[in-house]
Homo-oligomer: A and B are copies of this chain.
Amino acid sequence: MIQVKGMAGGPITNFQTEVSHITMSSYESAAKIRDRVQSGMGLNVLARLQERAQFVRFGNRCAATSLGAGFVYIVAKGVVGIESAAHPDIRAVTALLYPGDVLIPELQALPDLELTSQHSAVFWKLTMTALAEEAAKDPQLWQAVFLRPLAQHARSQLHIATMSGLNSEERIAAFLIEIGVRIGMQAGGSISVELPLTRYGIADYLSLNADTVSRILSSLVSEGIVKRRGRFQILIRDWRALTAKCPLSEAIILLHGAG
């Protein structure tokens, strides 16, 4: 299920390499740290890890145990769901990983975790040794790798609040806002988004039934808020109306916006 693409210098090099000016100081203000954690600083600083990384391409499903111990994975491309199948009947997607996100298989505490992605995703695979060496050389890198999981945690908290406090329509809106902000492309007043999950995946992520997901998407279509273009493409036509449907839209945009 995993195909190794080869060491450094593979075909995947077009990262979003925005410039960001990060001063290194352990004593800098907390607000700065937060901004940095929440921003997408990941890949530009991480770029130097590329040389020590193995590129790993995922099909649509992969057991976390097969990732091996002693490695750290960093998402380079695609959107990956972390799916817990602790029980055969329980199929929860506990988080979505986006480019720059860090995955440490050892710290994924639940047994029988699987990674899922609709379209293929690419990871950098690093040994902890290599990561530690590089991190020792470059404090910025250290921060990028070690602060990122904290940002991911913050997103998990938000996701809990989403599932805990919102009804099914609000959750769907939350999901559309999240992926719209993350992977949406401006397309003439609308935002075009490639769905990173099937209906079942979306349902598992939002703790809903797949039929319910379908039903609500249909109602959003009939309201003219979104439009479907094929099975995996969605067009958000009325962003304002969409955000109005979700009480947590502000927080979602805040956390996912800069990443």
A11-42: which have CB < 8 Å to B? 26-27, 29-31, 33-34, 37-38
B161→A153 contact, CB < 8 A: no
- Say yes or no for A91: interface residue by CB 8 A criterion: yes
Which among A80-88, A179-187, A216-224 touches the partner chain?
A80-88
Which among B31, B154, B163 is the interface contact of A109 at CB below 8 angstroms? B154
- Binding-face segment, A45-53, A118-126, A188-196, A246-254: A246-254
A2 within 8 A of B: no
Residues of B within 8 A of A89 (CB): 165, 247
A-side interface mostly: helix
Q: Is the CB of B153 within 8 A of A149?
A: yes
Q: Which residue among A161, A165, A251 has the maximum number of chain B CB atoms within 10 Å of its CB?
A: A161
Q: At the interface with chain B, which of A55-63, A100-108, A233-241?
A: A100-108
Chain B, Cβ-Cβ closest to A90: B165
The answer, yes or no, to whether A92 is at the interface (CB within 8 Å) is yes
Q: A129-B27, A156-B156, A248-B87 are in contact. Are A151 and B255 (CB under 8 A)?
A: no
Given contacts A38-B109, A70-B30, A164-B204, contact A84 B157 (CB under 8 A): yes
B207 touching A164, Cβ below 8 Å: yes
Number of copies: 2
**A161 & B69 in contact (Cβ 8 Å cutoff):** no
* A158 interface residue per 8 A CB criterion: yes
Shortest CB distance A85–B (Å):
10
Shortest distance from the beta carbon of A22 to any chain B beta carbon, whole Å: 16
Q: Is A44 an interface residue (CB 8 A)?
A: no
Known: A87-B248, A158-B110. A26 touches B128 (CB 8 A): yes
Interface residue? A140 (CB, 8 A): no
Which residues does chain B contribute within 8 Å of A31, judged by CB atoms?
69, 106
The answer to whether the Cβ of A159 comes within 8 Å of any Cβ in the partner chain is yes
Q: Which residues of B contact A87 (CB under 8 A)?
A: 165, 247-248
CB of A94 within 8 A of chain B?
yes
A144 to chain B, nearest CB (A): 14
Q: How far is A207 from B107 in the complex, measured between Cα atoms in Å? A: 25
The reply to whether A153 and B107 contact each other, CB–CB distance below 8 Å, is: yes
